Structure 1
């Protein structure tokens, strides 16, 4: 069977074939990863932050699965109002926390921000029936209006 010697030489060396960009090579490498290490910081009001570490399989971990892992890791069963974000880079290269709102966001986090580990932040928001709810109209109250 005849093959192009250039293509067979490159495929044996582990280098991407000619014409394949760095993004495609990174995507191929990501597909091969079986485990992503995750470090999570939980922030809640004035309480000191809590930390947890675990590993997930990026091929089978959806946002719903990740939420259930975090609920169990931090015992959040009664606190359904929380947000998840990951430490990534903006267009200028600055580190910023980006929201995880969908499976697509999670796939992006796995692909772009998981080396050597994915850094997550869980922000607990006060629920409607919290101990210190904001009274209706409190934000609209003006002390100088009679």
Structure 2
């Protein structure tokens, strides 16, 4: 793991955070594959599509999942091949597509939702309600700082 200054509380916490994030992602993917036959990212996309109040475009999925648009294009093609989503032309913009969850996708989502609850319960097992609120606040700050950092990198690469 990245730990540029072992013994420094900031570096140690950051290294632990990365290890926890990677381990949690591996656990989630393994549990989803074994118990529901899909990946964590497919679950996330199905959940997004099922709860959307409007047709969803790939750019929106990329933004919500913090993935590159070309990765979402590849993913949605696989999901379409698996019968989980339909990809249809946007009636108001021929350059754009709408991604829509199918009945099979809804069934797969229903199968995977208990797995998502099980994953969350396992990962958060030892964290009490007081610590949960503090952790949520800290994670929101980490996410904001990372998004801000991505923005700075994007702006500096355009110069």
What range is the shorter-chain TM-score in? Answer: under 0.3
Rg comparison, structure with higher value: 1
Per residue, is there more strand in 1 or in 2? 1
Instruction: Give the structure-1-normalised TM-score.
Output: 0.26
Instruction: Give the structure-2-normalised TM-score.
Output: 0.24
* Higher-RCO chain (CA-CA 8 Å, sequence separation at least 6): 1
Per residue, is there more helix in 1 or in 2? 2
